Structure formats: C-alpha cells, structure tokens
Amino acid sequence: MKRSTSGSSGSGGTSTLVKGILLGLGGFAAFGIALWLLKYVIVIGVLGGAGYLGYRMVAKNKALGSDESKSHQQLTSGDDDFEKKMRELEAIERRLDREISGR
C-alpha cells in the first residue's frame, strides 16, 4: 500500500509545537489580564474598607442607635414572639383545613 502525503513530511510535530506555543501565549495573556483586573479590584476594596473604617470611627454610636436597651430586650424576648407566631400559624392551618374539608 502506498501512503498519500500532502507534500510536507513531518508537519504533525511542527503544528503540535505551534499549537502548544499559541496555547501557552494565550494562557499567559489571560493571566496578565486577570492580574490587571485584580489590581483594580484590590485598590477599590482597600479604598472601600478604609472608607468603612473611617465611617465607623467618626460615627461610633450611630450604628447601635440610642435604643440599645430596647433592642437588647427585643433580642431576648424572641422566643415568646416565635411561639406566638407559631400558634397563629397553627390556628390558620386548622382554619384552612376546615375550609378545605368543608368543600
């Protein structure tokens, strides 16, 4: 049997090498673009963090508000509120069950 050649012998290795080089260059370019974008993200993050820390230093008590004891009571009385809401939901569920079974 006779092999058919397209006129160039050994081009398979060269094309693989060229593909590998182009793939490496593309990866290097993608890495460079990612670093370029990351630089701006880091700068914006640092500026945002510095702004937030500055805000917290200037307005120390504004984040908590003047009703600190009231909010503390609301946090500790959450169990009673939860149980009340659960009882209300169960009552609504029973009422809906009665309406559905009545039809």
In the predicted model, what is the mean pLDDT of residues 42-47? 92
Provide the number of structural domains found in the chain: 2
Evaluate if residue 30 carries a pLDDT over 80. Answer: yes
- Shared-domain flag, residues 56 and 41: yes
| Domain membership flag for residue 84 | yes
* pTM across the whole model: 0.35
- Shared-domain flag, residues 72 and 58: no
Instruction: Flag the least confident range among 29-33, 34-38, 41-45, 77-81.
Output: 77-81
Give the pLDDT confidence score for residue 9 in this predicted structure.
53
| Domain membership flag for residue 53 | yes
| Domain membership flag for residue 70 | yes
Give the pLDDT confidence score for residue 102 in this predicted structure.
81
Containing domain of residue 78, as a range? 66-103
The DSSP line for the chain is: -PPP--S-SSHHHHHHHHHHHHHHHHHHHHHHHHHHHHHHHHHHHHHHHHHHHHHHHHSTTTTT-S-HHHHHHHHHTHHHHHHHHHHHHHHHHHHHHHHHHH-
> Tens digit of pLDDT for each residue in 47-89?
999 999 988 888 765 555 555 556 556 666 666 788 889 999 9
